[in-house]
Structure 1
Amino acid sequence: MNRTDRLYAIVEELRAVAPRPRSAAWLADRFEVSRRTVERDIGALQQAGVPVWAEPGRTGGYCLDRGRTLPPVNFSPDEAVAVAVALGDLAGTPFAGPGGTALRKILAAMRDDDASAAHDLAARVHLLGGRPAAPPVPAVLADAITSRRVLRLRYIDRAGAATTRDVEPLGFVRSTTAWYLLGWCRLRDAVRAFRLDRVDRVTATSERAPHRVVRPEDVQVPEGDLRTLTLL
């Protein structure tokens, strides 16, 4: 976990238990860093204006101002397990990491008895078979759309030929068999879809990608009709 993600996760952890404190030792163990690193992170959050303060005493720790936190998300045990089942197919996709983070946030925000019931229900759900294990998507590739950095890819095509390309990330496409990065390929001077499992190496450049509009007919993934994801 990089520092930016850890700072966000610390805030979410403190928000979930507010107004109760979390000790530096507990946070260090949770995020697998030293206590000194936690103290530096808390200092950075305070300098950024996050309402975190230290509560002294044997049972003290770091607290987040309850008046400036969101109310708990009241997921039922059934809803939490439904989300876990849905997230189970995210391995090898750009959203596997955020999916795991989302589930941890849901469980952290639930009441202790509901969280316990969710774990009990999950232990009674059995999954038979499934997709072959997929390699994790590199973080720089998973974050490509939100970071909008031009990527340098070493890409292996279906014939096994390798090329190095600078690509402006435009979106992701899921077909029936694979996930693709949709991008403006500067080598081909056109929109191209790159299968994530054929990206051999990827780095993010310092250049910010310009805004481009993609039409459905520009997407060359010949597997069914293209539709855009919507949030209900």
Structure 2
Amino acid sequence: MNRTDRLYALVEELRAVAPEWRSAAWFAARFEVSSRTIERDLSALQQAGVPIYATPGRRGGYAIDVQHTLPPLNLSAAEAAAVATALAADTAAPFTHAGRSALQKIVAVLGDVDAQGVRELASRVRLFDDAEDRPAPSAVVERAIVARQVLDLTYCDKAGTSTRRAVEPVAVLGVRPHWYLWGWCRLRQEPRSFRLDRIGAATMTDEPAPDRGLDPAELELAELVGRGILGT
């Protein structure tokens, strides 16, 4: 068994017995390698973001948090290349950095033949875009949306006026060709949207954003434009 297959098997074994533990010695006997090799493999999985936890001591071992993992994905070369192409198509889209990290994990668990197929197919995809370069959204904004924490940011509106605002983030809205942060603006005391490329410095505070019942999925685009929320 090569290392890629062993890493895959380690995760699958931990998922199968979760929330029970498996020791490095147990894995070493199972895969006919040394305990040190198993410990290096598990450490590599942890560094890659797999939620594996260790308990020290003679009866300690390793376990995985199945609530924060996905089951195995059997992607073809074309499917993996499609993910890569979608990520490359719009570098200004939200969570682009997280998407690229996910793609690296996908390629890492593919077999050598499949991974080579992905690279070969991706090399035959070319994207030409004559639009102006658009900066990627701030990773701080992305983390605040996920954590639902209040953002402290500076924003330059369409008139060129820069203001400092506290914003309770709710979601990201895409209205081509721009992306917007949708949330409650404490400066204006109403829901507002902010073009991501006009957000300057942004800091995620320690304050949780309260639930104000804002649901962007229920809002009509015409209403947003009519109220002057989009394009501020």
What range describes the TM-score normalised by the shorter chain of this pair? 0.5 to 0.7
8 A Cα contact 2:180 2:196, kept in partner: yes
Alignment partners' CA distance in 2, 1:15 and 1:145:
36
- Which residue does 1:62 correspond to in 2? 41
Alignment partners' CA distance in 2, 1:78 and 1:135:
28
The residue type equivalent to 2:209 in the other structure is A
TM-score by length of 2: 0.67
Alignment partners' CA distance in 2, 1:158 and 1:170:
22
The structure 1 residue matched to 2:224, chosen from 220, 224, 232, is: 220
8 A Cα contact 1:150 1:206, kept in partner: yes
**How has the CA–CA distance of structure 1 residues 187 and 71 changed in structure 2, closer, same or farther, with 3 Å as cutoff?**
closer
Q: Which runs of 5+ in 1 are unaligned?
A: 1-12, 22-48, 223-232
Alignment partners' CA distance in 2, 1:95 and 1:106:
16
Alignment partners' CA distance in 2, 1:58 and 1:175:
50
Residue correspondence of structure 1 range 62-211 to structure 2 within 5 A: 62-63=41-42, 72-129=72-129, 131-211=131-211
The residue type equivalent to 2:40 in the other structure is G
The residue type equivalent to 1:157 in the other structure is D
2:86 aligns to what SS in structure 1? helix
Alignment partners' CA distance in 1, 2:5 and 2:168:
36
Alignment partners' CA distance in 2, 1:52 and 1:136:
43
Whose radius of gyration is greater, 1 or 2? 2
Deviations 1:80-108 (A, max 9, x none): 11111111134122211121022112212
**How has the CA–CA distance of structure 1 residues 98 and 16 changed in structure 2, closer, same or farther, with 3 Å as cutoff?**
farther
Deviations 1:15-49 (A, max 9, x none): 9823479xxxxxxxxxxxxxxxxxxxxxxxxxxx9
Larger mean Cα displacement after TM superposition, 119-128 or 181-190: 119-128
Q: Which runs of 5+ in 2 are unaligned?
A: 12-19, 26-33, 46-51, 53-61, 227-232
The residue type equivalent to 1:92 in the other structure is A
8 A Cα contact 2:21 2:63, kept in partner: no
Alignment partners' CA distance in 2, 1:142 and 1:187:
21
Alignment partners' CA distance in 2, 1:171 and 1:128:
29
TM-score by length of 1: 0.67
The residue type equivalent to 1:220 in the other structure is L
Alignment partners' CA distance in 2, 1:16 and 1:136:
37
8 A Cα contact 1:72 1:110, kept in partner: no
Q: Count matched residues.
A: 185
2:182 aligns to what SS in structure 1? strand
1:61 aligns to what SS in structure 2? helix
